[in-house]
Amino acid sequence: MPSVQPPSKVLVTGANGYIAMWVVRTLLENGYFVRGTVRSTSKGDYMRKYFTELGFTDLEDKLEIVVVKNIETPGAFDDAVKGVHAIEHMASPYHYGAEDPKELFGPAISGTVSILQSAQKYGSSVKRIVITTSTAAMVRPTDLPITFTENDWNEDAIKQVEIHGVQAPGYLKYFASKTLAEKAAFEFYKKNKEYLSWDLVTIAPPYVFGPIINEVGNKITNINTSLIEWYETIFESSKSKEALKDVGNAWVDVRDLARAHVRAIQREEAIGRVIVSANSFKWHDWLSTAIRVSTSTNPPILPLSAFTEPDPTYNHNHTTPSESPTKPHHIHIINFDTSKAEKVLGMKKDEYITMEDCARDMIIDFKNRGW
C-alpha cells in the first residue's frame, strides 16, 4: 500500500487519551489534518483549547472532533472513517481494576473489530490502519532470560483468565484483553484482506512514561496506569527495596511512541506487528535517575527527601547494585527485540529519548501540577 503523507487526514480514536493526545500533536506538527473521536464534547473542547494555547492555527480546518460515546455500539465508527486516509486506533481501556474480564474484553475486542468493520464498509479512502496494542500481548512467564519478539503471543494470560475468571489477577485480565483484541484484528484482516483498501499495523509498547498533555485535572489517580506506578514507586515507597532491585520491565517515552505511530503511516514497509521499546529497566534505575537529575541542579528541582528512601547499599551514580558475597543479586527484567522498529520505522536506539530526559520532564510536569 502507498504511504500516507501530509496533508492527508488521519482519524485518531480515543484522541484525548494519554498516548493519543501526543499522537494528535505529532500528526499536527507534521502537517496532517486530524479527525479525533472523543466520548464527550467537553473532552473535545479541552483538546482545542490545548492546541490553541500551544500555538496551532486554523484548528477549525486542521482538527475535527467527533463524539463517539460508546465504541462497542455497532457502527459506532461508520461516519468517522469516511474521507480519512489513515486510522490510528487508540481507544481501549488500560487498567488493572476490572472485576469482570468482560469490562476490558468488550471495549478492547469489540471496539477494535468495530472500527475495522466500519473501515471495510465506509473507508474507501483509507490506506493504512495502525492499532495500539501492548507488549502485554507478547510476554509470558519464564524463569530464564528471554528476548521477546513480534512472533510471541501471550497465550498464558488468556488461559489463566479462562480458568480463574473474575478471580484472575487484574493485570492478567488486561494482558488477555490486549492479546485477544490484537488477535481479532489480524484474524479480521486475514479473512477480508482481498476486499480491503488498507493494510494493518500494530504498535506494541511496554511501559509508557513521559509528560502529560491530556486532561487529568488535579487528581493524580486520573493519570494512566504506567505513570501511576512510576509516581508511586519513585515518590511513595510503593515497592520494597528488594523489588526495586529485582523487578523491572521495559519502557518507552510517550513522545517516541507518538513518533512511531506517525512513521507507521508514512512508511510503506511498516506492516504487521512492531515492538517499540527504548530499553529494559529495573525500578532502581528510575529511582537513581530521578534522584540524580533532580538534585544535581542548583537549585534542585526537588530535594532528596521528596523521593522514596534511598538504599544506602546502592550506588546512585552508576545504577548498579552493590555486590553482596552472601546474597547473590538476580535482576528480573524483560527484553524485547526492537530490530523491526529500527528497520521499518527508522527508530534507532541512539535516537530514543533518554531515561534522564524522560525522568526530568516527568518530575517537572508533576511539580508544576502540585503533585
329 pLDDT more than 50: no
- For position 143, what pLDDT does the model report? 75
pLDDT digits (tens, 9 = 90+) for 196-235: 999 999 999 999 999 999 999 988 989 988 999 999 999 9
Distance CA 332, CA 337 (A): 17
Long-range contacts of 78-82 (CB under 8 A, 24+ apart): 78/118, 78/121, 78/122, 79/122, 80/11, 80/13, 80/35, 80/37, 80/118, 81/11, 81/115, 81/118, 81/119, 81/122, 81/123, 81/126, 82/122, 82/123, 82/125
- For position 94, what pLDDT does the model report? 66
246 pLDDT more than 60: yes
- For position 326, what pLDDT does the model report? 31
- For position 27, what pLDDT does the model report? 98
pLDDT digits (tens, 9 = 90+) for 309-322: 766 555 544 443 33
CATH 3.40.50.720 maps onto the chain at 9-212+250-277+335-346
pLDDT digits (tens, 9 = 90+) for 77-87: 999 999 999 99
* Mean pLDDT within 246-254: 94
The closest alpha carbon to 78, from 68, 91, 65, belongs to 68
**Prediction pTM value:** 0.91
pLDDT digits (tens, 9 = 90+) for 96-125: 667 777 777 877 888 899 999 999 999 999
pLDDT digits (tens, 9 = 90+) for 118-165: 999 999 999 999 999 999 999 988 777 789 999 999 999 999 988 888
pLDDT digits (tens, 9 = 90+) for 164-194: 888 888 888 889 999 999 999 999 999 999 9
pLDDT digits (tens, 9 = 90+) for 15-42: 999 999 999 999 999 999 999 999 999 9
CATH of domain 9-212+250-277+335-346: 3.40.50.720
323 pLDDT more than 70: no
